[in-house]
Structure 1
Amino acid sequence: MIDLSPRLWRGDPMNDAASSLTVVIVGGGFSGAMLAARLAERGQASALIERGDAFGPGVAYSATLDAHRLNVRAERMSALADRPGDFADWLKAHHPDHAAPDGFPPRRLYGLYVAARLAAVEAAHQGLIQRVKGEALAVEGRSVVLSDGRRIEGCTVVLATGNPAPRTAAAGQSPRILPDPWAPGAFDRIQPNDAVLILGSGLTMVDVVLALQARGWRGRATAVSRRGLTPRAHGDHHDAPAALPPEALSGALSQRLAAARKLAREHGWRRLMEGYRPITAGLWRAATTAERARFLRHLRPWWDVHRHRIAPEIAAALDALIAEGRLSVRAGRVSATEVSADIVTLTVSAPGGAAQTLTAAWLIDCTGPGHDAAATPLTAALIAAGRARLDPLKLGLDLDEAGRVLHADGAADPDLFLLGPPARAALWETIAVPDIRQRIETLARALTA
């Protein structure tokens, strides 16, 4: 067992305001690593548990291709809520060729930035961050049990496990079905002229097509999603947020939607989305379960493609593939999947009821993160024990406004928090760095109060 017993950390001006006990953080990607860094800057010790080899980048920022760009401008990607220019300044110092503040640099550079910030904080506040390589299997009280039997003890546990792999495609059904596009070597068997079918037409589909292209792939891809929508592009420059009138913020959803459409016509949809961005979590928390369900059922696909945009140059590359006939996007519901030795066949029911048969050599699941707290061992055990519960729509674990996990009886657990994408059921917008860094700041203050 690692010795993380309570001890007093001296030599830091913030020490009097912070607990001498250890915060145990599960997940060493952006959310977990930057929380550990912020806690250390406030004099708080933490143990950062990561099952992978790299602490900081996580899956999102471990990309190695320059074609995999950030989806937010560099000037808005600081890891620090109180230093908005931190990432842009880091780029100027270390990668000046990608330092345009309104540009979209490669995600690999952001991964380097996050790792560099973590290392710098560790050097400045020695002993306050302990890296632990291992896979968390269970949360017991204020401890986390790892797969090798180690028990990491602390005063508080924060689950910051990031985005899981997609879950739509059936893993193991056939080697022709690739259920996790981020798995090492996922595309090694795809030949240059192979045709591929893609489930989903969002950000993951964009990344996969560009990754195949970078490997010399010259085949054709068909992406299938329920609505056939693809991510919209950012404008040439950041759009100022539109002022939202009361009718766009309260009342019946139909009335809010009408007001939002009117604003989009008058000011442009990008300005509309920027207006909603800082208040989305509050609107989500204020919504009833019925309102959330209606949003998910009717509006979510359009929200996603307008809210989570791609860099203009990436949109241009996608348009070029479509113009060449190498990428097509179909709207429809997959009603059947058949796999032979060398062919995958999808039967797709298009809007209006007409069925299509699509064939290719490979099927790649790009439906996005497969959040399923009830099927993930770490959280499923908490649910079974009554220490956690699913939200009414089963998007994830139910939380209070502070991010504390709610027990089966609705009581907030004072020692168990969620941070980042797993907190989407309670906060909705917990994916992008600007949203997560603010949650980190709020949580760091709460944990060191």
Structure 2
Amino acid sequence: MKQSGATLASQREQANRAVRTADILIVGGGLSGSMLAVQLLRQPGKRQILIVETRSELGRGEAYSATETGHTLNGNAARMSVEPDNSDDLTRWLDHYISAGGWPESAEQQVPVAELFPPRGVFGLYVQQRLAEAQALGATYGSSLEHVREEAVDLQSSDFGVRITLKDGKQLQGKFGVLATGMFPAARTPQRESSGLNAAAVDPWDVRSMGQLDPLAKVLIIGAGLTMVDAVVSLQQAGHRGPIEVFSRHGLLPHVRRQPPAWVDFLAEDHGIRSTRQLLRKVREQCQQAMAQGIDWQAPLDTVRAHIGRLWNQASDVQRRQFVRHVRPWWESHHHRSPPLSAELLARRVKEGRLSIHAASYQGLEVLPTGQVQIRVRRRGEAEPSYVIGDALINSSGIEYDWRRVDRPLPKQLLTRGLIRPGPLALGIAAHASGALLDAQGNVSKRLFAMGPPLRGMWWESTAVTDVASQAKALAERLVSQR
């Protein structure tokens, strides 16, 4: 049957309404996406920004949606400002927040505000306030920000713009698109060829579910990084009093973060360091000098942080592989350190004999008819696997950076379309130094960018608050200057 002109016109109008347009589309409304929006809104000029985020709130993401006060930042306030040009911003905000009656538990620590390790939920409030202030400023320029609460499941890019398809079938069209997807925690991320680990495991941050366990249950934890630290805090807050066994390949725990004095930036004075071996030799030398003077070894190590991007970027693929294979576990445990109160809790559990660390690689699991979980591990130095039975299991194996393994619609579609390709060593996705993505053929996109954790392969450290804040400012300036 032939359709009338009025019907066709109505269908075209509905189709046009289904495609919303904006200047900039941001996928991800956690720290990365929110900080980019802040920097864009502060730029003079009128622009429309849409952030696609499934959560009900912007500014929190995975990391800062925690509601338990025991889940804190792993850096003190002086290190965690979202303002690249003002390192005291969080300290001042936190001082006002505490003075107004927020976070009363902070008084128990009896240290200066700059040395406090705020709960992640409190830090999320800080990010949200800076975003609200930027929205108010942007409105004076005629700019706007809108939260599209939906999941992005597909994306297409051309020389003229970016189109995003949402789970509900609606589409967004923008001049530029930015992947600010944040991190994919292994404990919460569906993975291709899954071993079933997550299906059998308790969420590391779910205190309510842990409260349903027998208080004396034997809990097995896979992974010994900061997620494990959070898991132990969660168990403690849930009233757990039973044994905890932690299994990780190297059996290394995060060191506690202390507040060492300033140390000379020795890498700024020596640009001759190229290889992993040279870097390790120099760092050990500086740490030994510090300890000989009675100064914490963390002082010289902390100066390395500012140069990691440069060193990683100039390294060859062979050198990067050497670092990941031989140095990474020690880098993670020495650099990604535990907040003091959490470290104290772990130390108490070890001293009480309730927490033990095993150097063993996880190989698989079986849920027994009793409801218990049996894991298969290969202990270091042993050829044959061992079997360990526990009443509950927690996956604390960290972050999944290989987008080929993330079983979510958008990463899969981007890879299928050839709009992205894996980053160096399959860490995140490949991009130009400007943040513009590289497609499967290595072409630099004119319209599609990324920032934060997806750029792990480019900079190695691309997840810390200071990294994200600096990238957000640089990318905002770049997007505003382009047409």
TM-based fold match above 0.5: yes
* Aligned counterpart, 1:114: 127
Pick from 52, 55, 79 the counterpart of residue 55 of structure 2: 52
Cα-to-partner distance string for 1:6-56 (whole Å, 9 max, x where unaligned)? xxxxxxxxxxxxxxx611000000110111111011034311111111111
TM-superposed deviation, 1:168: 9.3
Matches within 5 A, 1:288-299: 288-299=316-327
2:415 matches 1:383: yes
The one of 340, 361, 369 aligned to 1:312: 340
Contact 2:402 2:428 in 1 (8 A): yes
Residue 171 of structure 1, CA deviation? 6.2
Deviations 1:72-107 (A, max 9, x none): 110221111122222111111122354711221211
Q: Does the alignment pair 1:139 with 2:140?
A: no
Confirm or deny that 1:203 pairs with 2:226: yes
Correspondence list, 1:19-34, <5 A: 22-34=23-35
- With over 3 angstroms needed to count, the CA separation of the structure-2 counterparts of 1:179 and 1:161, relative to structure 1, is farther
Matched, 1:228 2:262: no
Partner of 1:95: 98
CA distance in 2, matches of 1:289, 1:175: 32
- Residue 259 of structure 1, CA deviation: 2.0
Give the match's secondary structure for 2:72.
Answer: coil
Deviation of 1:412 after TM superposition, in Å, equals 0.8
Q: In the aligned structure 2, how far is the partner of 1:309 from the partner of 1:377?
A: 33
Q: Residue 221 of structure 2 aligns to a residue in which SS?
A: strand
Aligned pairs (5 A) from 1:162-311: 162-166=182-186, 173=196, 177-178=200-201, 180-182=203-205, 186-187=209-210, 189-237=212-260, 239-240=262-263, 242-244=265-267, 250-267=273-290, 268-311=296-339
Contact 1:247–1:255 (CA under 8 A) maintained in structure 2? no
Does the Cα contact within 8 Å between 2:224 and 2:246 map onto a contact in 1? yes
- Which residue of 138, 141, 146 maps to 1:130? 146
Contact 2:74–2:117, Cα closer than 8 Å, also in 1: yes
Cα RMSD for the two superposed structures: 2.4
Shift, 1:395, TM fit:
1.7
- Does the Cα contact within 8 Å between 2:251 and 2:358 map onto a contact in 1? yes
Identity %: 33
Amino acid at match of 1:319: A
* Aligned twin of 1:410: 442
Amino acid aligned to 1:119: A
Gaps of 5+ in 2: 1-16, 107-111, 291-295
Q: Structure 1 residues 116-125 or 407-416, which shifts more?
A: 116-125
2-structure distance, mates of 1:384, 1:136: 15
Conserved in 1, the CA contact under 8 Å of 2:153 and 2:413? no
**Corresponding residue for residue 330 of structure 1:** 358
Give the structure with higher Rg (CA): 2
- Counterpart pick for 1:85 among 85, 88, 98: 88
Q: CA shift at 1:4, angstroms?
A: 4.9
Distance in 2 (CA, whole Å) between partners of 1:337 and 1:172 is 8
Q: Distance in 2 between matches of 1:207 and 1:84?
A: 26
d(CA) in 2 for partners of 1:245, 1:432:
21
The answer on whether the counterparts of 1:176 and 1:339 sit within 8 Å (CA) in structure 2 is no
Structure 1 residues 285 and 186, CA, compared in 2 at 3 Å: closer, same or farther? farther
CA distance in 1, matches of 2:167, 2:73: 33
Does 2:435 correspond to 1:422? no
1:359 aligns with 2:392: no
Alpha-carbon distance in structure 2 between the residues aligned to 1:174 and 1:395? 22
Q: 1:437 to 1:2 in 2, by over 3 A?
A: farther
SS at match of 1:22: strand
Mapped pair 1:161 → 2:181: yes
1:396 is matched with which residue? 428
Q: Work out the CA distance in 1 between the residues paired with 2:245 and 2:271.
A: 37
Give the TM-score taking structure 1 as reference length. Answer: 0.90
User: Structure 1 residue 151 and structure 2 residue 171: aligned?
Assistant: yes
Contact 1:144 1:151 in 2 (8 A): yes
Equivalent position SS for 1:198: strand
- Amino acid across the alignment from 2:62: V
Larger deviation, residues 428-437 vs 161-170: 161-170
**How far, CA to CA, are the matches of 1:212 and 1:242 in structure 2?**
40
CA–CA distance in structure 2, aligned partners of residues 358 and 63 of structure 1: 31
- Report the equivalent of 1:8: none
State the Cα distance separating 1:202 from its structure 2 match.
0.4
Partner residue, 2:372: 343
Deviation at 1:386, TM superposition (A): 2.1
1:443 and 1:431 mapped to 2: Cα distance? 16
Q: Do the aligned partners of residues 238 and 151 (structure 1) sit closer, same or farther apart at CA in structure 2, a change above 3 Å counting?
A: farther
CA pair 196-147 structure 1, distance change in 2 beyond 3 A: same
Per the TM alignment, residue 238 of structure 1 is displaced from its structure 2 partner at its CA by 5.6
Instruction: Normalising by structure 2, report the TM-score.
Output: 0.84
CA distance in 1, matches of 2:219, 2:355: 10
Counterpart secondary structure, 1:416: strand
Q: Residue type of the partner of 2:465?
A: V
Give 2:5's aligned residue: none
Structure 1 segments unaligned to the other structure (5+ residues): 6-20
Partner of 1:448: 480
2:207/2:235 contact within 8 Å kept: no
User: Using a 3 Å threshold, how does the CA distance of structure 1 residues 323 and 119 change in structure 2: closer, same or farther?
Assistant: same
Shift of the 68–367 alpha-carbon distance from structure 1 to 2, 3 Å rule, reads same
